[in-house]
Chains A and B, each alone.
Chain A
C-alpha cells in the first residue's frame, strides 16, 4: 500500500513534468522526498584568504606560541581582562575573545573543533589551495566539479531545484557539477521582474541548443518558480544577524531551510582573512582579525538561534584554504602557512571538545620549520559528515583518489 509520501512524489512528479504543479504540492513533495521525514542538511562555510587558525583557537597552554608571536598572540585566559584574552575551552586551547558568542554552543556540546586540520597539499597559493579544497582533490587540477556537489546523495524522482544553494553572485567551485546547484544573491530578488519577459526568457533558454546556457536556464527557472511562494512573505528571523554580507548569507540559508523547499547542501563564504600586516590591534579584541571573527561568530550564533529546533537536521562546517605562519612576520601579521582549524556545529555533533592530535610548535614539529603541521586531513572531517550526517556512503565518488579510512574519522557526529 503506497504511503502518503510516495503518493505525493508520484502525483507531484507527473505535475512537475508539465510545469503545472501547485507550489504547495511541489514543496510538500520536495520536503517529503527522503527516507526520513526531513532531509539532513550540510552547510559549508569557506573563510577565504587563509584565516590564522592559531589566533582563532589559541593554544594558550603552549609556551612556544607566545615566544613566536611576541606582539600578536592572544593573551592567556584572564578573568581580569576577559575581553582581551583567550576564552578557555579545555585548559590548553581557548577561543579568540571575539568568538565569545560561540562559547555557549561549545559548552552545550553542539560545537566541535578540529585543530591542525586542512589540506595536505604543500601549496601556499590562495587560489590553488582554495581550488583544491573546493574540488576535494588536493594536488589534482583536472577535477572539474566540486566536493559539495558530489556529496549530494542520489535521489529517486525529481530532486528539488534548490537542493544545493550557494549564496552570492558567483557559483563557487565546491558547488559545481552534475547535480543542480543554484547561486542566489538575494532571495527577494531571485526572479525576472517582468512576468511576460520571464516567460519569454524561460522559453528561450529551454529551447536553446547552447548546452551550458540551456542547463543553467532550466535550473534557474525551476528554482525561481519554487521560491516565488516564500518570496512573498517577509522573513522574521528568530535572532538578530550581524550586519555584513556573511550574516545576510546565513540569514537567507536559514530562511530557505525553514521554508522546507528541499535544501540539502548550502554554501556561504566570508572573505578578508589575509592578514599580512597589523592582524591584531592594540588589544586582542581590536584589529582586523577580531573584526572578522566577530562577524563570523556572531553570524553562526545567530544562525543557531534562528533555526532553533531545525538545527537537529543541520550541520555547519567551516574551512579555510591553509593556515598562517606560526611566527608572526615583520609587520605584526602572518604569512601563508599550512594547517588550520575547523569548526563543526550542529544538532547531532558531539561538541564541547577540541579534536585532532596537537602537533606542537617546537621547530622540529613545525611543517617546513615554519607552519603548524597537519594531523587531520580536511577530507576526514568532511567525509565523516557526508557519510554520517548526509547519509551518502559513496565517499570514493565524493573524494576521488582518497582512500577512506573510518579509523581516521574523529567521531564528530553521534550515530542516530
Chain B
C-alpha cells in the first residue's frame, strides 16, 4: 500500500517536473512579452512604461537598458538624492564629516582638530555629549522645559499633530532648533520628520547621530533609485551583484565603507568584465574588513616585523592566517560550493591573500598590499603552482584562475538565471550562458544579452514564475501606484518587517535568489498589511493619488493599470464581495469623516497589491 502510494506520488512529481521543463519551450505571446520584460528587467512597471516600451520597440528598449551610460537619469531622482551628501563622499570625508565614536573622542580630547562647518560641529558636540551620558559621567540632556518654550509650544511638540509640531518649529530661532530637537521624545521627532521639509529632515537625522545619517542615506538612496531611476536594469543588477558579494553594513568600520563599495566597486562593473568586478571586490576595504582578510597575515612574517613578543604584551597583537575570505571567495563569489576545491585549496588561497589589507584611516582607508606580512612561500591552488616570492601577484593569480574557471562560468550563469528567469532555471539555458561567459572572457553584458536572446527567457516556463522578494514587492508596489516618495525611511522599515532589511544580511551568502524561499505566513501577512497601508496613504513619506486610475475606474481597469493583466474571476468576485460588505450599512462600523476615508479605487488597489497575482513578477 505504502509503496504503491509512493510510486503514484513519484509519477505525479515527475509529470509535474516534465510539464515544467517543457514549458520553457513554449513561447510567450506578443502581449505577454513587454510585461514580462518590465517585470524582470526593472523593479516593476510604472503607469506609462508599457506604452513607452511599445512605442520604442521591445528590442530597442532592452538594448538601451543594457547600456545605462546612454540613458539620461531621471531629474526627479537627482533632485531627491541631492540632499544626501554622504552618497558623494569618500570614506575619509565621511569619517571627518560624520565621525565615528573614537574620532569624536579624539576631537573632544583635542588630539585631532574639530571640523569648521558649524552644523557639523553641533552634531559632534551632541554626539560627544551623548557618549558622556552613556558613560554616566553627567546628565545634561536638554529638556523642553529648559529650552525656553511656552507651555503650549511644549505641549504641541510632545503631543500635537505633526503639523502642529512643524508650526512650532517654524517660529523657533535657528539656534534653538537643535537643542529642541534633541529634547523631543523620539516618537515625536519621527512625527515631525514625516512632515518636515528636506533641510529640517536633515537636521533631525543629524540629531540621531553621525552613523545614523550615513546608514539612512544609503537606504534612502537604494529605494529611491529602485523606484525612480531610468537605468532600471543597472539598478536591478547592482542589487544582484551587491548581494552576490554581500557585505554586512553593521560590522564596525563597514558603515563607512559600504557606500563607496557599492558606488565605486560594484556599480561600475555590473555590465563589465567579471574579472574586474571580482578584483574590485577583492581589493575593497569593505570586503577585506567584512571577511577578515585584513587580519590574515603570515604568522612568521608578522612575528618578525613586530620583533620578539614581550612578556605581558597584550595577546591582541598576535596575528596569523585567517581562512574566512579564501573560503567564501571560492564558495560564494566564484566556483560555487561544488566547484571542485578542497580544504587544502582554502588554506593555500588564504596564504596567497596574506598582506591584502587596508591603509590607516588617515591615509584614506584604501587598499594596500603589505609586502612584509605576506607569506612568500610556494603554494598550489587548484593544481596551479604558485612560485615563491610572488608578493601581490599571488592573490592576483588566484583571482585570474578563479575568474576563468569553468565552474565560475556555470555558477554565475545559474545565479543570474535564477534571478531573471526561474528558481530552477533550465540546464540548457545555463549551458548557453556559461559558454558565452567563457568565450567572451566573463563579459557580463554579453552573458545578459545571451540570456535575453534565449527562447527560455521568453517562455511560459519563465512567465510569472518568480515570487517577488520583499524589495521587489515594495518597489514594484510604489511604482505600480505611481506614488510620490518624499522620503523612504518608513518604506525601508517595511522591508525589515518583510524579512529583507537593506544592507543588513549578516551572512556572506546574501539574500536568497529563489523567490519561493520568501513564501511563508509571516511574510504573506506582512505583504498584505503593507499593501493596504501603502494604498491607504498610511506609509509616511509616500503619497498615493487615486487620480492615477482616471475617473471612476472599474476593478478590471485598476488591475490592468497595476499588473498589466486582468483579474481572475475568483479574485474579482472576492473584491466585489468585500466592497459590497463595506457598503452595507448593517455591517460597517461608524464611518470615519469623509476626508479620512480611503477612496474606493485605492481600496481596490490595496487589495490587488496584496493579492496572489501581485506577489509574482
B295 at the binding interface (Cβ < 8 Å): yes
Closest to B519 in A: A216
B506 at the binding interface (Cβ < 8 Å): yes
Across the interface, which residues of A come within 8 angstroms of B573, CB to CB? 203, 207
Verify B519–A332 contact, CB threshold 8 A. no
Name the interface residues of B487-526: CB closer than 8 Å to any CB of A. Answer: 497-499, 506-507, 509, 516-526
Verify A333–B322 contact, CB threshold 8 A. yes
Closest to B331 in A: A125
Name the interface residues of A171-206: CB closer than 8 Å to any CB of B. Answer: 171, 182-185, 189-194, 196-201, 203-205
Verify B570–A201 contact, CB threshold 8 A. no
* Per-residue B-contact encoding for A159-178, CB less than 8 Å = 1, 0 else: 00000001011110000000
Verify A336–B323 contact, CB threshold 8 A. yes
Among B222-230, B271-279, B311-319, B383-391, the stretch that binds chain A is B311-319
B contact residues, total (Cβ < 8 Å): 60
Verify A197–B606 contact, CB threshold 8 A. yes
Verify A201–B528 contact, CB threshold 8 A. yes
Verify B612–A331 contact, CB threshold 8 A. no
Verify A184–B612 contact, CB threshold 8 A. no
Which of A122, A204, A330 makes the CB contact (< 8 A) with B612? A204
A71 at the binding interface (Cβ < 8 Å): yes
A272 at the binding interface (Cβ < 8 Å): yes
B324 at the binding interface (Cβ < 8 Å): yes
Count of inter-chain pairs, beta carbons less than 8 A: 181
Across the interface, which residues of B come within 8 angstroms of A191, CB to CB? 525
Which of A123, A128, A183, A201 makes the CB contact (< 8 A) with B522? A183
Given A128-B337, A200-B577, A203-B574, does the pair A170, B322 have CB atoms closer than 8 Å? no
A214 at the binding interface (Cβ < 8 Å): yes
Give Cα A306–Cα B383 distance, bound, in whole angstroms: 57
Which of A200, A212, A217, A368 makes the CB contact (< 8 A) with B343? A368
Across the interface, which residues of A come within 8 angstroms of B615, CB to CB? 213
Verify A210–B524 contact, CB threshold 8 A. no
* Per-residue B-contact encoding for A308-352, CB less than 8 Å = 1, 0 else: 000000000000000000000111110110000000000000000
Closest to B536 in A: A194
Smallest distance from the beta carbon of A121 to chain B beta carbons, Å?
Answer: 11
Closest to B608 in A: A204
B302 at the binding interface (Cβ < 8 Å): yes
Verify A182–B520 contact, CB threshold 8 A. yes
Smallest distance from the beta carbon of B584 to chain A beta carbons, Å?
Answer: 10
Give Cα A208–Cα B572 distance, bound, in whole angstroms: 11
Closest to B567 in A: A204
Name the interface residues of B152-184: CB closer than 8 Å to any CB of A. Answer: none
Smallest distance from the beta carbon of B556 to chain A beta carbons, Å?
Answer: 15
Verify B578–A197 contact, CB threshold 8 A. yes
Verify A201–B292 contact, CB threshold 8 A. no
Across the interface, which residues of A come within 8 angstroms of B297, CB to CB? 330
A305 at the binding interface (Cβ < 8 Å): no
Smallest distance from the beta carbon of A379 to chain B beta carbons, Å?
Answer: 21
**Residues in B lying within 8 Å of A, measured CB to CB:** 292, 295-297, 299, 302, 315-316, 318-324, 327, 331-332, 337, 343, 346, 467, 497-499, 506-507, 509, 516-526, 528-529, 532, 568, 570-571, 573-575, 577-578, 581-582, 606-607, 610-613, 615-616
Q: List 28 A-B contacts (CB under 8 A).
A: A124-B346, A168-B499, A169-B522, A169-B526, A171-B520, A182-B522, A183-B520, A183-B523, A185-B526, A189-B525, A190-B525, A196-B581, A197-B610, A203-B574, A205-B524, A207-B571, A208-B613, A213-B519, A213-B524, A217-B524, A220-B524, A271-B507, A272-B506, A276-B323, A276-B324, A331-B296, A335-B323, A336-B323
List 11 additional contacts besides A128-B337, A171-B519, A183-B522; criterion CB under 8 Å.
A124-B327, A125-B331, A171-B522, A196-B578, A203-B577, A213-B519, A216-B519, A219-B521, A276-B322, A331-B319, A332-B316
